A and B are shown apart, each in its own frame.
Chain A
Amino acid sequence: MEDKKVVLSARDIEVKFQVRSRVLTAIRNISLDIYDGETVAIVGESGSGKSVFTKTFTGMLETNGTISNGSVMFEGQDLTKLKTDKDWEGIRGAKISTVFQDPMTSLNPVRTIGYQIAEVIMKHQGKSAQEAKEMAIKLMEEVGIPNAASRYDEYPFQYSGGMRQRIVIAIALACRPKILICDEPTTALDVTIQAQILEFIKSLLKEYGFTTVYITHDLCVVANVADKVAVMYAGQIVEYGTVEEVFYEPKHPYTWALLSSLPQLGTKGEDLYAITGTPPSLYDQIIGDAFAPRNPYAMQIDFEEEPPFFQITPTHKAKTWLLDPRAPKVEPPKAIQNLHERLSAMVSKGGGYHG
């Protein structure tokens, strides 16, 4: 993996939002390298900053948000320096595409499916309307729309949810992007369609060879699709590693808690584990480890100083004082020990998607 090329490199990203007259720090110094052809999953609870972080790759932060620090290097360009729609031309939608969670509403209800695909082809590839139409029909066939030519002029309401999500993916892939960001691509779909779409993205991945960034809070999706996992908490990445490392050798207490609270891993008859407390307010300055108040393993230092990343293996690192040589040895909770066997048993049963 080490010899792979870095396609996108985020350094010390800090994002702030102006909310009424207060400032909210949504992302606090995240650095992340995304390697070519890899699938990276960003997991974390709602409000942890998953979406906001990836929006910095496409300049789609809400108007009250600013990148106050850091850089996102992509093809030799710092994306944080791009401001206007014109600056983004050729990157957003062309080289970095996004698929959103709700296919029901991602398409314009009063424009034909064909128009919405052809539009992006014409925009980024400068094709004529006729060429774009041909390409769009071909693309529709590729994503498995039957009778693509005759359904070209139909409207989104005439398509089923799964088909609409395929169209959304087709639009995102229309310009053969380098990076595809999937912002909870299956949350709004029912379980069987979810599985289909995930398989579908996987198969496209083989064919097109793009890099995928999944944003999800569904750990089963992560287990199914990802190469690398980044666990986010309160605007920071707290643990990062390959999917095996993070799932089977988790080091951060938040990752432990997250895995322990998976309903699929619960034991029948026992109460499901729940993380106590609430995430910290992002309006305030966070001192020490942001997870410390909810962390049963928290030490004095956790409340005083922010932990650095401790490298565990070349690909695995975690941001917790527990990895400091001076810290006492702590075993992960029982619920997530020997996760390997249990999880692989579940995935092989094909039941990995009930989220």
Chain B
Amino acid sequence: MKQYILGRVVRSIISIFAVVSIACALIYGLIPHEKIFNNDPTWKKIASDPVASITYKYQKWEDLGYVDFQNAGDICKLAGDDVDYNKCVRGTTDAFELVKAEWEAKGYTVMYKDDGTAYVKQGIDFYEEQPSLCKLTETGANYDECVKTRNSDLEKAVSSYIEDGYVLNYYNTGTLYAVRENTVPEIIFGYISNLVKIDTPWTVNDASNPNLERKIYPGLDHNNIPALKCSGCESQYLLYLDGKFPFIHQNIIKLNFGISYPTYSGLGTMDVIGQGQGDPVKNEVHYDTGLTAKSAVNLHSCKYKSSSTMSSDDAKKFATNYADCDTNKKDPSMIGTSYLFGILGIIVSYGIGLPAGILMAQKKDKWQDKLGIVYINVMIATPSLAFIFFMKMLGNKIGLPDKFPSLGFGSIKSYILPVIILGLLSTAGLMIWMRRYMVDQANSDYVKFARAKGLSQKEIFNRHILKNAIIPIVNGIPASIVLCISGAVITESVFAIPGMGKMLPDAINAANNNMIITLTFIFTSLSVISLLLGDLLMTLVDPRIQLSSKGDSR
């Protein structure tokens, strides 16, 4: 049994990684690089500035893993002692500098092409490139030296980059930058290898705080509840307890899906969907310096802040460098919201679907059965979007809000329509199958024998048929929870519910690559885990199924 579950878990993890890799390959391989800037407000502002736009573009691409990008400054700094940093950054030869100064003195502006060649342009009829500039000069500069675009120091510094496959380019100010495009396998490998982050006491690397202690120790949190703390880790609390589900929380292993961009720019994607939403909630907080204040700070979430960025305000509140904390928000996170709606939807759909299916089977061919079949047909024939809007319209008539945020999380009215819609959408399938299984079982030999035993129809249904018919249904419960969560994409979008379901189309529209991969990962994991859970649940209700690896049962 243990062996079987272990095997399943390993295979599940492998398949999750396979799906993430495929998603990664599709998204990074097929979506054009430029598309990601379409929804970026910062990009719109700086797109016309030739220097800033290039830097911004390549830096974003580097953050997302598309390219490796180096500025002349970095290239020259890393080149070593035998390269003169200043000369290296300047890039051009002394001879050309003289010529350039001469032209500028005459009132011309010297510009540079992508290959580093300088040119001067005035109006429509004056245009000269570097060779002619060097020829026309009156300073007597050496022509051969003057036409060179790099000096020997820069030449030395970039040689290793050229070997590594970087392409050298120039801003129109003449400064050099180097870019190397990553191949899709490299991007995927980089992504996967950074996926799991384990927090250890050696994680923090802060030059401004060389005396940082490195240890893991049991301690008390601000509420005097025992917790596992750490010095030198990124998070202050490795393990802690609080009143929120699932009550024990850990910060040791984190999944890192990269940053969200262009929407929620700069935040990690997991933070975007995992952190609370809405207005901050202020509580009485006791800082470890003894200071008590009303604040929304979530002391369990505090992360290391380097000594150089600690403000005096931070020092007043925090005894250690762990001062970078999240705030408590009023509303649940996107994940929490989706789960909430998923679970409520499931309760509604099973609460309606199962009894209705059972009733239909019991009253087979009677009016109850026929009515149910009409309902199922209507539900299957109606496109879900049409059904959602129809229900929304009905709801509006009786005064329910047609958008979730209009009354928000606080009001029960906000939930009614989306939950009922989510629930009803999956009732039809549930009813069909429940009825089908019940009818199948009702025709089986053991039911005939149970009748011959003298049991009444009701006793046979309750004691024998139901237990057999429910087995395949039980197997599907976890899967339908997943379906409800991920299937809420349309419902959440229509009602503008701030959940994961709405996040997916939003992320696709905004070309938020990492967010799409994150959601793919979450939905995939849920599906795979739910299959496993379904099979495990089945062993509880069906005595014939045992998860031993004995024989060739698989």
Contact = CB atoms under 8 A, between A and B. Distances in A.
Interface in B437-496: 444-446, 448-459, 463-464, 467-468, 471
A344 interface: no
Interface string A80-110: 0000011011111110011010100111111
Interface string B406-448: 0000000000000000000000000000000000000011101
A110 B545 CA distance: 10
Nearest to A102: B445
B449 A119 contact: no
Given A105-B445, A107-B446, A110-B467, A93 B454 contact: yes
A88 B452 CA distance: 10
Interface residues of A, number: 31
A92 B544 contact: no
B453 A123 contact: yes
- The dominant DSSP class at the B interface is helix
Contact of B454 (A88, A100, A106, A168): A88
A111 B454 contact: no
A332 B450 CA distance: 44
11 contacts: A60-B448, A60-B451, A105-B444, A106-B446, A109-B468, A110-B541, A110-B543, A111-B464, A120-B453, A120-B455, A123-B453
Nearest to A109: B544
A94 B445 contact: no
A109 B457 CA distance: 18
Interface string A105-148: 11111110000000110011000000000000000000000000
Given A106-B449, A109-B468, 5 more contacts: A92-B453, A98-B452, A108-B468, A110-B471, A111-B464
Interface string B43-87: 000000000000000000000000000000000000000000000
B467 A157 contact: no
Which range contains the number of B residues in contact with the other chain? 20 to 34
A171 interface: yes
Nearest to B365: A63
A119 B453 contact: yes
A116 B464 CA distance: 10
A124 B541 CA distance: 28
Contacts of B457: 85
A105 B446 contact: yes
Contact of B544 (A102, A155, A168, A172): A155
B542 interface: yes
Contacts of B542: 110
A108 B459 contact: no
Contacts of B450: 108
B452 A85 contact: no
Contacts of A100: 445, 448-449, 452
Interface in B344-381: none
A60 B452 CA distance: 8
A211 interface: no
A89 B452 contact: no
A120 B446 CA distance: 14
A172 to B, nearest CB: 8
Contacts of A94: 454
A255 interface: no
B361 to A, nearest CB: 14
Contacts of B446: 105-109
Contacts of A171: 449, 453
